[in-house]
Chain A
Amino acid sequence: MLRFIVRRLLQAIPTLLILSILIFAWLRALPGGPAGALLGDKATPAKIADLNHVLGLDQPIFVQYFKFLGRVLTGDFGNSLSSTQPVLQEILDFMPATIELSISALIIAVGLGIPLGYLAARFRGGVLDNVTIILTLVGVAVPVFFLGYLLQNNLAAPLGLPSQGRLSTGLDATNITGFAVLDGIMTQEWDAVWDALRHLVLPAFTLATIPLAVITRITRASVLDVLNEDFIRTAKSKGLGEQTIRGRHVLRNALLPVATTIGLQTGLLLGGAVLTERVFNFRGLGYLLAEGIERKDFPRLQALILLGALVYVLVNMLVDVSYGLIDPRVRVR
């Protein structure tokens, strides 16, 4: 197991290096650049050229890249052009929000998706199954940002839920870890816990929609496959109870492809988080990315994309490791 983890980590290094070159070159190949965004309405071609010179953006691209790489290897990703704060500090400050939102969305997606998918398979062809199929289709078809706007405009006020933000303005919540719910529990500021949970509802449901739909369908398909397996017939003929068959044989075997799906959806959650966080002003990494794209904030975009790639690699490695935990027959060498 340890050898496997080390091997996968070593494989990540050339992946990240190639990715850094691609990102760096692609950002600088885009027309315009950060100088125009920084100068705003007062930007003239002459001022843009001046600022590009001061920022070193008029140097040969390979010179810029090696300077960038040298800084990154010492942990310096530079300062954000939008906020002028160190990018790494920004990412650390905003990351808890995205993790909190993603975990909430995953809990909803997995917590609802697996039972729904199982029930749809168990009562295949019935009303529940048909309704589930329709809802999952709608879930993947409706764009995340559109759904977010719909919920924000039409449900926030009637349900008495906040329409944006992580915490109510002016709420004096103690910040320790950056995870609003956790910080509230640790300090027993229960009003802050409740406030943070209320702010999570709409964005988490929005973000959960697509993974919920996908997990539901994959679970349904996987359970249907397993239900038809010989060993299920054998288990029934041995006289095992329904609960035992469901829990030990059906679900456990059906969960393998679902686990893979959850891993993939986690990576996709980051993409959905960009729009969700923007719509709900939920200040996490997705919010940073959206603002960075608008303002051509090179330092921030470079850091975020590389970090996102690293997280994706690590999560998928964890998924592979989890195979061994779910199914002892799968040995990770």
Chain B
Amino acid sequence: MQQLRVARTRRIALIGLAGVLAVSMSACATSKRDDNTAAGGEKTGGTMVFGATGNPKNFDPIFNDDGETFRITRQIFDTLLQNKPGTADVVGSLADKWTPSNDGKTWTFDLKKGVKFSDGTPFDAAAVCFNFDRWYNMKGAAAQSQMTYYADVFEGFAKNEGDATGDPVYKSCEAKDDATAVINLNKAKGAFPAAFTLSSFSISSPTALKKYNADTVTQSGDSFSYSDYANKYPSGTGPFKFESWDQAKGEVTIAKSEGGTQTANLDKLIFKVIPDENARKQALKSGDIDGYDYPSPADYGLLRNDGEQVLIRPSFNILYLGINQANNPALKDVRVRQALAYGINREQFVKSKLAEGSEVATEFVPKAIAGYNDAVTQYPYDPAKAKQLLTDAGASNLTLKFYYPTEVTRPYMPNPADTFTAISEDLKAIGITVQPVAEPWNGGYKDDVQKAGKQDIHLLGWTGDYNDAGNFVGTFFGRKKAEFGFDNAALFSALSAADSAPAGDQHAAAYKDVNKQIMDFLPAIPIAYPTPALVVGPKIKGVIASPLTDERFNTVSKG
């Protein structure tokens, strides 16, 4: 009995001690809240929360090439030129006017006046030149390896390090006066002026770049580490300025900025990282977020029923069926390639498998691109004609190895397995035997298809970076590639000439002609222009869906 009493007393003492501990813990640390924060932490008016699909990498645009990072940096920074909201048309941003020389090697920009960076530094031509020179003179293999778009467009650095090998397109920049910047190139390139809209080429404050050692990119084991500028102190001329990046909460907060090129309606924008699409949908439904990107097409109806606004983007991507002429001799015959084109019911595929707004692709550039040609050779669905062509080519018993990717969703290919099934059924219907080969996207698919050329036919696509046909057809067919296995000197030459054609009508006309040649030669089959969407809540006004996923939130208001 004595022992029982002792045990009970011990238990009571333990419980009491726990209670004392709990009480003593409270108020042993000071709240770091502002005095004017509402007790329940309610959002103040003018804050929009957008559900992002993944983390940003950092906030120095030149070291980035992914959509999630650009979604944020596009609100903080400006480029010399930008895309007109809702379109792929090139309009002025930091530059009011831009003029190329006759040979396309010199670009003169008349800059906006009275603009400041978020750190108070005035924006002028010297700032433009500082940025271009910074990129050109960037040192270190680590830093150069992360400047993907710079390497693509400007091809080389003052001193190439690591595996950078191209001859630099950029020559120099001159600040003629505070409002005139002249960029000199070593060669003309069709990518300009559209490439000046690329978010990677955003103009940063020279003061902040210097103060926070922006060029410091170091390798850390199997990865890289970036400067304080990139992680904490980015400074641009956009309508918003960087405030914080809470990694533990997965929230990037940017706040309204004064003195930039545009004025925001919202006080704050919070980008909340929610990788799971269903979680984003539920978060929108419960009001945790005000919008998110890439809703599942199957949910469009449900979302609209709930009062949400599903905004369909004009298409700026292409899904194609690649054909490798080197791997299967039968595919060298254009009649066989034409048979594949006639044999695929693209209308039915787009209608049944792709999101609202998607269209059948008639060529390899979307309609929004200058150089799109509505007079190219068409290949409407005609299985009888397809069979006849195969017979004429002596390929009635054709067997094709059909590669398609798994473990991936792309904007142009939401469901690769479904796409493969639909197309292979059509091919079987015209007498072709299909040997499926499924490979993980990040487990060898691209290597096998683009490097080793193991496929006969394959699924792939592309989302455009800027409004230039060369960004599509030049990328695909500009040179001999293992992916397509052909060597057509006339086509390569035509593409090169089109790339060099002066910007404007001549450039567009040259690409119209090239597109016609491509659709006659048919090195691959364009399948569809899929259209991704974004969704926002009923209180959100002023979001303009962009074909390049280049939505600017300065025009957005809430409530």
Chain A residues with CB under 8 Å of chain B are 30-34, 36-37, 39-45, 47-51, 53-57, 67-68, 71, 76-86, 90, 93-94, 97, 149, 152-153, 156-157, 162-176, 178, 182-183, 185-189, 191-192, 195, 244, 278-281, 283, 290-291, 296, 298-299
Contacts and interface: CB of A to CB of B under 8 A. Distances in A.
B223 A78 contact: yes
Q: Which 3 A-B pairs have the closest CB atoms?
A: A78-B221, A45-B451, A163-B282
Given A152-B282, A174-B31, A298-B222, A54 B162 contact: yes
21 contacts: A32-B440, A32-B442, A47-B148, A48-B446, A54-B141, A71-B221, A84-B223, A84-B224, A84-B226, A93-B248, A152-B282, A157-B282, A157-B285, A165-B272, A173-B41, A188-B31, A191-B39, A191-B40, A192-B41, A195-B41, A281-B274
B443 A30 contact: yes
Contacts, number: 206
Nearest to B162: A54
A49 to B, nearest CB: 8
Contacts of A157: 282, 285-286
Interface in B261-304: 270, 272-276, 278-279, 282-283, 285-286, 288-289
Nearest to B57: A84
B446 A45 contact: yes
B47 interface: yes
A165 B249 CA distance: 8
Interface of B: 4, 22, 25-34, 37, 39-41, 43, 47, 49, 54-55, 57-58, 65-66, 141-142, 145, 148, 152, 162-164, 219-226, 231, 247-251, 270, 272-276, 278-279, 282-283, 285-286, 288-289, 410, 440-444, 446-447, 450-451, 462-463
A180 to B, nearest CB: 10
B163 A54 contact: yes
B55 A31 contact: no
B243 to A, nearest CB: 12
B365 to A, nearest CB: 17
Contacts of A30: 443
A42 B148 contact: yes
Nearest to B165: A50
B275 A283 contact: no
Given A53-B162, A79-B224, A84-B57, A167 B249 contact: yes
Contacts of A187: 27, 29-32
- Which of A71, A82, A168, A244 is most buried by chain B, counting CB atoms within 10 A of its CB? A168
A170 B31 contact: no
A279 B30 CA distance: 33
B286 A185 contact: no
A281 B145 contact: no
Contacts of B220: 76, 78-79, 86
Nearest to A44: B450
Contacts of B27: 186-188
Contact of B410 (A34, A41, A173): A41
Nearest to B142: A54
A176 B288 CA distance: 24
A39 B148 contact: yes
A81 to B, nearest CB: 5
- Which of A32, A48, A169, A195 is most buried by chain B, counting CB atoms within 10 A of its CB? A169
B332 to A, nearest CB: 23
Given A81-B223, A84-B225, A186-B28, 9 more contacts: A67-B221, A152-B278, A164-B283, A169-B288, A170-B41, A172-B34, A176-B29, A185-B26, A283-B250
